[in-house]
Amino acid sequence: MKTTRRVTQFGFLALTLVGVFVLRGNAERWCPFGGVEALYAYLDEGNMLCSLAVSNFSMLAAVVLLAVILRRAFCAYACPIGTISEWIGRAASRLGIRARTIPAATDAVLRKIKYGVLAIILYFTWSLSELEFRAADPCFALISRHGEDITFWAYVVSALIVIGSLVTTIPFCRWLCPLAAVLHPFSRFGLTRIRRAPDACTGCQRCSAACPTAIPVHALKEVTAARCMSCFNCLNACGGTKRDALLWGPIRPRAVQWPPAIAVLVLLVVIGGAAAWASFVPFPSFTHVAPDRPDQPPTTAFAELKFDGLTCRGRATLLAYFLERDDEFTVNGYLKLEAWPAPTAASVRVTFDPTASSKDAVIAALSEPYFDRVADTWRVPPFRNMLEEN
Domains and CATH numbers, the chain: 2-188+262-280 (no CATH), 286-388 (3.30.70.100)
Alpha-carbon distance 222 to 94, whole Å?
A: 32
Cis peptide before 253 (omega within 30 of 0): yes
- 32: nearest Cα among 5, 7, 65, 57: 57
Indicate the burial class of 141 (C-beta count within 10 angstroms; 0-12, 13-18, 19 or more). Answer: buried
Confidence of residue 180 (pLDDT cuts 50, 70, 90): very high
Q: What's residue 390's pLDDT?
A: 45
Q: What's residue 372's pLDDT?
A: 86
Choice among 1-10, 16-25, 141-150, 166-175 with the minimum mean pLDDT = 141-150
Alpha-carbon distance 318 to 364, whole Å?
A: 14
Confidence of residue 349 (pLDDT cuts 50, 70, 90): very high
Q: What would the mean pLDDT of 297-304 be, rounded to a whole number?
A: 88
Q: What would the mean pLDDT of 213-221 be, rounded to a whole number?
A: 93
Q: What would the mean pLDDT of 340-366 be, rounded to a whole number?
A: 88
Alpha-carbon distance 216 to 210, whole Å?
A: 10
Q: What would the mean pLDDT of 119-139 be, rounded to a whole number?
A: 87
Question: Angle between the 261-280 and 55-70 helix axes, to the nearest 10 degrees?
Answer: 160
